[in-house]
Amino acid sequence: MTVRKKIIIVCSAFLSLFLIWYLFVKKTDYCISFKVNAATGTVFQGIQEWSVLQLEKEKEKYTIVEKRNFDFIKQEMKKGAVQMEYTWDITAINDSVTKVNVGIKDRNHSWYNKLTAPFFNTDFKQEQIKKVIDFKKGLSEHLKNFKVRIDGEGTSEETFVAYINLKSILQEKGQTMIRNDAMITGFLFENKIKIIGRPYVEITNWDLDQETIDFNYCFPIDKNTKIIENEVVKFKTLAAVKGLKATYFGNFRTSDRAWFALLDYAKKHNIALENKVLENFLSNPFNGGNELEWETRIIVPFASK
């Protein structure tokens, strides 16, 4: 057998294997990649929020089939007879840049799209590119509304507080605080207990898979305050916490963007953290003003060895 024939056989075998993989094994019809200056968790949340808006604007119903922490989401989308699958792989490139790969499959026309998308500018291809560009634009606009600064290792101060225990999904932490604010501040006012510092939120349990949190909404008071028994309002000392710190500038509703940045930083630097967070809000949102000047100090504790 000549060398030329051997090369033809090897190339033919390689091409055949590639076509088998591309047509029968590859799960997506088309893939779009982009980078964004955001933490993986911020992108992850952005995808879910964008999906809700797509239902309102385009009547596209997205259902999460599978998700993993903040680096993977698989969705099904239905709109009339259209059935699509979107697979989002989210990877931190460094402390501030995330790469997103969006795998797209049309369940009704998968083979046609696989054969045409690499070579032709089909309606399917144009529509998916436009959709991902719109998502990225919306995410970029959101990123203008806050800033996160990683401050490194630090320790919080021991603080005596009055607090109430609350539960919510992660996205509704701020709304839950606002709904219950009058309950604790009203109790303190009625009992002539003076608030002597800015409020804290102590996340005691953060379920990353379910995206739920248990947290204490706390107000610093004098440690010599007489304890008043109450079913809802409790008193305790917030112990000093050693961990990874960040400063967040923006609306308190989305302060979890700093949590995500700290998780990415810790992962890149092999730092083990607990699924807990301590936030200290240094600005009063009821005073209004520029949200980018609202400051929150955040610390995520180091995991116990």
CATH 3.20.80.10 assigned to domain 148-301? The reply is yes
Average pLDDT over every residue of 212-233: 95
Q: 239-251 burial, b if ≥16 CB within 10 A, otherwise e? A: eebebbbbebbbb
Instruction: Give the type of residue at 65.
Output: V
Q: Label residue 24 by pLDDT band (50, 70, 90).
A: very low
Judge contact between 228 and 190, C-beta under 8 A: no
- Average pLDDT value over all residues in the chain: 89
At 39, give phi and psi (nearest 5°). Answer: -70, 155
Q: Note the pLDDT tens digit of each residue in 110-161.
A: 867 787 877 778 999 999 999 999 999 999 999 999 999 999 999 999 999 9
Q: Label residue 164 by pLDDT band (50, 70, 90).
A: very high
Average pLDDT over every residue of 4-18: 48
Average pLDDT over every residue of 43-47: 95
Hey, is 67 helix, strand or coil?
strand
Work out the percent of the chain whose per-residue pLDDT is above 70.
Answer: 90
Q: In this predicted structure, what is the pLDDT of residue 1?
A: 60
CATH architecture group of domain 27-144: 2-Layer Sandwich (3.30)
Q: In this predicted structure, what is the pLDDT of residue 117?
A: 73
Give the residue extent of every domain in the chain: 27-144, 148-301
Hey, is 59 helix, strand or coil?
coil
Rounded Cα gap, residues 298 and 150, in angstroms: 10
Judge contact between 177 and 201, C-beta under 8 A: yes
At 241, give phi and psi (nearest 5°). Answer: -115, 130
Q: Which residue has the higher pLDDT, 18 or 85?
A: 85
Q: Label residue 20 by pLDDT band (50, 70, 90).
A: very low
**In which residue are the tokens 């047509």 written?**
23
Q: Note the pLDDT tens digit of each residue in 257-288.
A: 999 999 999 999 999 999 999 999 998 776 66
Q: Distances from the Cα of 34 to the Cαs of 101, 116, 148, 263, in angstroms? A: 7, 22, 21, 21
> How many Å separate Cα 138 from the centre of its chain?
15
In the predicted model, is pLDDT for residue 26 greater than 60? no
Q: In this predicted structure, what is the pLDDT of residue 289?
A: 76
In the predicted model, is pLDDT for residue 7 greater than 70? no
Q: In this predicted structure, what is the pLDDT of residue 111?
A: 60
Rounded Cα gap, residues 69 and 41, in angstroms: 8
In the predicted model, is pLDDT for residue 12 greater than 90? no
